[in-house]
Amino acid sequence: MIREILVYPNKKLKLISKAVTSFDGGLHDLLDDMYETMCASNGVGLASIQVGVDMRVLIINIPIEVAEGEHDQPKENTIEMINPTILFKDGSELFQEGCLSIPGVYEEIERANHIKVDYYDRFGTKQTIEDESFLAIAIQHEIDHLDGKVFIEKLSYIKRKKFEKEWKRKLKEG
C-alpha cells in the first residue's frame, strides 16, 4: 500500500524516532509499504518518519541498469535497516542530494564518503555494511531523518535562507 509522504516543514519530520523492539508483521507491512511508496515517487531511500511512523526504520534501493538507459529497483535489492548505528565514518565528499519530503530540490551536501554501519534486518538479525560509494551517502541521509534532521539543514546560512524563501513560495503556489 502506498502511504502519504510528509512534506517539509511538517513538524513530524523533526521527531527523534524510537528504536524498534518487535520484528513482527506490523514492521514487515511498514517495510513493504515503504518500498512501494518510495518506488512510486522514484526515490532511492525512505525513512519511516517520512510516512509518519517515528521508528528507527529506513530503506535504500539504488537503481541498477537493466538495459541501456533503463533502470530498475528490484525489491530483493532493497536494504532494510532497523535501529542502525554508525560505527565509524571518515573522508568527505560533496554530493548532490534530494529528498522525497522536499520534492524537486537538489543541493550539494558534504558528508563522509566511507562508513561502517550496524543494523538489524526485518527478522531481527544483526547485519553490518561497510561502504565507500553512493550507498554511504544515502545511509547518512536516511539516518539523519531518524534523528529529526533533513538535508537542507546542512546548507550554509545564506543557501538555507534562499531555500526557505523559495520553498515558501513553492508551497503557496501549490
Residues forming contacts to Co ion in the complex (CB under 5 A) are: 99
Q: Which is closer to Co ion, CB of 10 or CB of 69?
A: 10
CB of 99 or CB of 139, closer to Co ion: 99
Q: Which one is catalytic: 68, 142, 153, 173?
A: 142
| 142 belongs to the catalytic site | yes
Q: Please, what is the minimum distance in Å from the beta carbon of residue 50 to Co ion?
A: 7
The separation between CA 35 and the C-alpha centre of its own chain, rounded to angstroms, equals 12
- Cβ proximity to Co ion, 99 vs 137, nearer residue: 99
**DSSP of the chain, one letter per residue?**
-PPPPP-TT-GGGGSPPBPP---SHHHHHHHHHHHHHHHHTT-SEEEGGGGT--BSEEEE---EEEETTEEE--GGG-EEEEEEEEEEEE--EEEEE--TTSTT--EEEEE-SEEEEEEE-TTS-EEEEEE-SHHHHHHHHHHHHHTT--GGGGS-HHHHHHHHHHHHHHHHH-
Residue 20 or 137: which CB sits closer to Co ion? 137
**Residue number of the CB atom closest to Co ion:** 99
64 φ/ψ angles, rounded to the nearest 5 degrees:
-110, 150
Q: What cell was used for 133?
A: 560509494
Provide the minimum distance between the beta carbon of 80 and Co ion in the complex, in angstroms, as a whole number: 16
Beta carbon of residue 156, minimum distance to Co ion (angstroms, whole number)? 19
| Shortest Å, Cβ 43 to Co ion | 8
Give catalytic residues, as residue numbers. 142
